[in-house]
Amino acid sequence: MMQHTNHSQDTDMAQIVVIGAGVIGLSCALRLLRAGHQVAIVARDFPTPFETATGAAINYTSLWAGAHNRWNLPTTPAEEREHAMARRTYAHMRRLVETNPECGVTFTTGIEYFEDPPEAYRALDARRAAELGFEAFRRHAPDELPEGVALGFEYRTWCANPMVYCMFLLRQFCLAGGTTAVAELRHPHEVFAMDPYRSAAAVVNCSGVGFGDDPAVFPTRGQTCVVANAVSATVTRQNADGSWTFAVPRGFDGGTVIGGTKEPDDWDPEPSPEVRARLLDRFAATHPAVLADGPYRVLRDIVGRRPTRRGGPRLEAEAFGHRRVVHAYGLGGRGYELSWGVAEAVLALLE
């Protein structure tokens, strides 16, 4: 069952079909369109207001993200590649907030705290931070640190209100001539048997946790809580026990996300009230300013499934007869921050 928009059913054949309208599918589709390709998006889920979204959309991860950019310090070649994608995305977002202030992205201060910092973070100084592309980097003095924190620093970074940003991408895509169809597929190759895509040259598989036939893909459950209280920075604390305490201001009247858990292979769709209480208490202890205007005003709990893949994201092209299938999934907890780097990689794989 398929619902087409506008001119996708006429003789004008879509050349590339992107499966998925999460942040990855939307970014890839827009990038390919801008490079001159004819592009259609086919997906089960499209951007929808966060405020009315229900748990039925649990497999559409982009709806439930923070989402901010938190720099990882690269120490392996794979991490270097991801860091390059994060830098590309950062540069893209910097241009975007200038040209399209309505895009759903805000630049702000990003603060990171560590109870037990790994060596690479202990050694991070202004010179290394500049090499890595961090802007406005500053290490915090010991008397600025919350109790229990051994290392703190800050840099300039960006946060997205996820659905405002994804709807912006979708509107840009449609305005520039891209077409869309709502459909649930059983396999990416099914596209080549669907009108009007029978002669498509390529399919891009951006299906997140979608088809479930790659044994290396698993969900990393994340529970967070959206509150109306404002924070003026994105704050991330890595606790000694491996747990995380963070807040992401969403901007554009999106409230603040307080998080969060990272639970590999946990499919539980229900939020736990005990976890909510713990997340809120721990964040207030780290950053008391969140309660400056009064107690927490909880808007809702979030449970999301980060589409994680053992061995890292899959970014590769395969032949299917004379056609091509390009895979772009398994972005785990970094889909937003790597999105424009992924889109560039997909374009390169197709050209």
Residues marked as binding for FAD? 61-62
Composition of the chain by helix, strand, coil, percent to 5: 35, 30, 35
- Cα–Cα distance measured from residue 5 to residue 29, given in angstroms and rounded to the nearest whole number: 16
Q: Single out the residue of 49, 101, 177, 212 in contact with ligand NAG (rule: CB under 6 A).
A: 212
Q: To the nearest whole angstrom, how small is the minimum distance from the Cβ of residue 273 to ligand FAD?
A: 17
Task: Give yes or no for a contact between 247 and 234, defined as CB atoms under 8 angstroms apart.
Answer: yes
Residue found under tokens 């910092």: 117
Q: Single out the residue of 115, 116, 190, 214 in contact with ligand NAG (rule: CB under 6 A).
A: 214
Q: Single out the residue of 36, 52, 56, 131 in contact with ligand NAG (rule: CB under 6 A).
A: 56
- 42, with CB counted inside 10 A (0-12, 13-18, 19+), is buried
Task: Establish if 170 lies at the interface with ligand FAD (CB under 6 A).
Answer: no
- Nearer to ligand NAG by Cβ, of 48 and 108: the residue is 48
Q: To the nearest whole angstrom, how small is the minimum distance from the Cβ of residue 342 to ligand NAG?
A: 14
φ, ψ of residue 191 in degrees (nearest 5) = -55, -40
Q: Write out the binding residues for ligand FAD, residues 321-350 only, by CB under 6 A.
A: 329, 331-337
- Cα–Cα distance measured from residue 348 to residue 331, given in angstroms and rounded to the nearest whole number: 18
- Nearer to ligand NAG by Cβ, of 151 and 204: the residue is 204
Q: Write out the binding residues for ligand NAG, residues 303-332 only, by CB under 6 A.
A: 327, 329
Q: Write out the binding residues for ligand FAD, residues 291-310 only, by CB under 6 A.
A: 302, 304, 306-307
Residue found under tokens 């540069």: 91
Q: Single out the residue of 208, 249, 254, 313 in contact with ligand NAG (rule: CB under 6 A).
A: 208
Tokens representing 173 are 């895509």
Q: To the nearest whole angstrom, how small is the minimum distance from the Cβ of residue 329 to ligand NAG?
A: 4
Give SS3 for 93: helix
- If contact means CB under 5 to 8 A according to the sort of partner, which of ligand NAG, ligand FAD, none does residue 47 touch? none
Choose the stretch contacting ligand FAD; rule: CB under 6 A; options: 31-39, 91-99, 206-214, 284-292: 206-214
If we measure between CA atoms, which residue out of 79, 62, 108 comes closest to residue 235? 108
Per DSSP, helices labelled H in 132-248 are: 162-175
Tell me which residues touch ligand NAG (CB under 6 A). 56, 58-59, 188, 205, 207-214, 217, 327, 329
